[in-house]
Amino acid sequence: QVQLQESGPGLVKPSQTLSLTCTVSGDSMTSGGYFWSWIRQPAGKGLEWIGRAYFSGTTNYSPSLKSRVTISVDTSKKQFFLKLTSVTAADTAVYYCARVGGNSEFGYYLDSWGQGSLVTVSS
């Protein structure tokens, strides 16, 4: 059974870049046609999808964050990454990584999630 674990700095200064890593265990990142995704949740608020990436380099991002987000995959390390530039206090949230199941014919869904990592943007 696949397991995901987020890691990275818990505090980022305004205007800097937020960087998080998700480490995957228990399954291959290249078989099964899975995408790998990031989602965030500000305290007391709902979930927001950030984007997803395939091991080949194909990416899809939320239109609202597209100009600041990069998601990449390193299959040799069994990790994928989130970079969010020019952060402000509004980017303070719990950030989750997740595996994307499904396909483009029938639809996608998030079938396995990490525990989440709190990132605070503050000087």
Partner 1 sequence: SYVLTQPPSISVAPGKTASITCGGDSIGYKSVSWYQQRPGQAPVLVIYLDSARPSGIPERFSGSNSWNTATLTISRVEAGDEADYYCLVWDRPHDLIFGPGTKVTVL
From 21, 23, 42, 49, residue interacting with partner 1 (rule: CB under 8 A):
49
Cite the beta strand spans of the chain per DSSP E.
3-7, 11-12, 18-25, 35-41, 48-53, 59-61, 69-74, 79-84, 93-103, 107-113, 117-121
Q: Can residue 54 be called a binding residue for partner 1 (CB under 8 A)?
A: no
Q: Provide the minimum distance between the beta carbon of 112 and partner 1 in the complex, in angstroms, as a whole number.
A: 8
Q: Can residue 52 be called a binding residue for partner 1 (CB under 8 A)?
A: yes
Q: Can residue 62 be called a binding residue for partner 1 (CB under 8 A)?
A: yes
Separation between Cα atoms, residue 43 and residue 3, nearest integer Å: 24
Residues at the interface with partner 1 (CB under 8 A): 37, 39, 46-49, 52, 60, 62-63, 96, 101-102, 104, 106-116
